[in-house]
Amino acid sequence: MASLRLHIWALMKHNLEEHILSPALEESSIKWIRHVSCSQIYENAILFFWLVILNSFLSGGQGNKTSLFANTFSNHSFVWKTTPFSVCFPKSIFFFFFSPQSSEDSNHNDESPQEEEGFMGMSPLLQAHHAMERMEEFVCKVWEGRWRVIPHDVLPDWLKDNDYLLHGHRPPMPSFRACFKSIFRIHTETGNIWTHLLGCVFFLCLGIFYMFRPNMSFVAPVQEKVVVGLFFLGAILCLSFSWLFHTVYCHSEGVSRLFSKLDYSGIALLIMGSFVPWLYYSFYCNPQPCFIYLIVICVLGIAAIIVSQWDMFATPQYRGVRAGVFLGLGLSGVIPTLHFVISEGLLKAATMGQIGWLALMACLYITGAALYAARIPERFFPGKCDIWFHSHQLFHVFVVAGAFVHFHGVSNLQEFRFTVGGGCTEEEGMQ
């Protein structure tokens, strides 16, 4: 008997290349193959290999008789009508696999018994496992090099997040490698990925530059580097989790759920980290309220992270809830801001306290969150903002801009705090 595994592999590869990779078939009746996900192909491939393995035992020792199982299965049409199985594996393949063994095959097999010993000596489970491993490897390679963007209506439910983005979506990817290679392709997530990837690199470089500044630039080098470093840490983690999530969330439902939780946790970390340097410098001469406010914001931030671990939190139905949770966390800073304005006076708060920059940062964050929650502008122009300038992309831009504005305000606050008129009085220094 000729090697069943080699026959399976050779014909499977031939038909996949012919029906998926052949440009000549792109305009044919099976043009919709570009919309078929790798998981669909793989599911049918698994079924196919199990049928072949089962048939090899059902038809074994029957001479030139074709397996009854093969004939029965080949007459069923539901497979060909409802799945991409018919495109990848035409019926002609089945008659090859399930056909009677020829005398030439028998002679060839007698001449090379060692070729069959490894595979045919395996148990049926091992044979199927080995065949499916090879199939998975090949399908992954095919899909990585040939996937195309698909419309919203053919996405699986777990990838449907915005009904107003009609075209340009990535299909479910078979591997992390394919997901990361998609960074350099144009699709609905391209802008989301690059806005926060470049923002992450920017804040990483800015943070390194700041942390390696000479100690003479600081009054309390260790404390100041720690508090500002926490802001940079929050910003870098937030942007890193974000671009990673938007890169790999099409991998699978489980991966999407995991990285979405990291993404939302990163937002909470950015908000928490942003409070630390501002509270430190604003209440530099009065550390007791600074300490209290830090505890409160940490408790609220941890609560937001815990809520974001709820599976339903990432669903489209809870888009408004997500925006509300993080807006509420950010707006909790209104209380210490009012405390600072009342205790220091509006003029001093506007100059030394850099309240203007803080207000601009809040406006950027609120605007971005509002666009995200309302899905503007794609709500008013469905299908026109699929790739560029949709709400999530604009939200990312506002987040990066808001984080930079906050750093600029904190830098000015540090400068004014330790210049003439910005230091602590003797009474404040004794507190």
Q: Known binder of ligand: residue 152?
A: no
Q: Which of 119, 83, 93 is nearest to 14 (CA)?
A: 93
Q: Known binder of ligand: residue 251?
A: no
Long-range pairs of 68-74 with CB within 8 A, sequence gap ≥ 24: 69/98, 70/94, 70/95, 70/97, 70/98, 71/98, 74/98
Q: CA-CA distance, 94 to 121, in Å (whole number)?
A: 23
Backbone angles phi, psi at 99, to 5 degrees: -75, 160
Those residues with Cβ within 8 angstroms of residue 120's Cβ, 6 or more apart along the chain or in another chain: 1, 3, 4, 127
Q: CA-CA distance, 184 to 196, in Å (whole number)?
A: 15
- DSSP of 221-273: HHHHHHHHHHHHHHHHHHHHHHHHHHHHTTS-HHHHHHHHHHHHHHHHHHHHH
Tokens standing for 291?
A: 């300490």
Q: Known binder of ligand: residue 396?
A: yes
Q: CA-CA distance, 316 to 312, in Å (whole number)?
A: 9
Those residues with Cβ within 8 angstroms of residue 234's Cβ, 6 or more apart along the chain or in another chain: 269, 270, 271, 272, 273, 274
Tokens standing for 228?
A: 């500002």
Angle subtended by helix axes 253-282 and 287-308, to nearest 10: 170
Give the HSE-up count for residue 186: Cα atoms under 13 Å, Cβ half-sphere: 4
**Side chain identity at 168, as an amino acid letter?**
G
Which residues is 150 bridged to in the sheet?
Answer: 169
- DSSP of 351-372: HTS-HHHHHHHHHHHHHHHHHH
Tokens standing for 133?
A: 């491993």
Q: CA-CA distance, 25 to 48, in Å (whole number)?
A: 23
Backbone angles phi, psi at 152, to 5 degrees: -65, -35
Sole residue written with tokens 């943070």: 207
Using an 8 Å Cβ cutoff, are 55 and 97 in contact? yes
Q: Binding site: what residues are annotated? A: 246, 392, 396
Q: Binding site for Zn(2+): what residues are annotated? A: 246, 392, 396
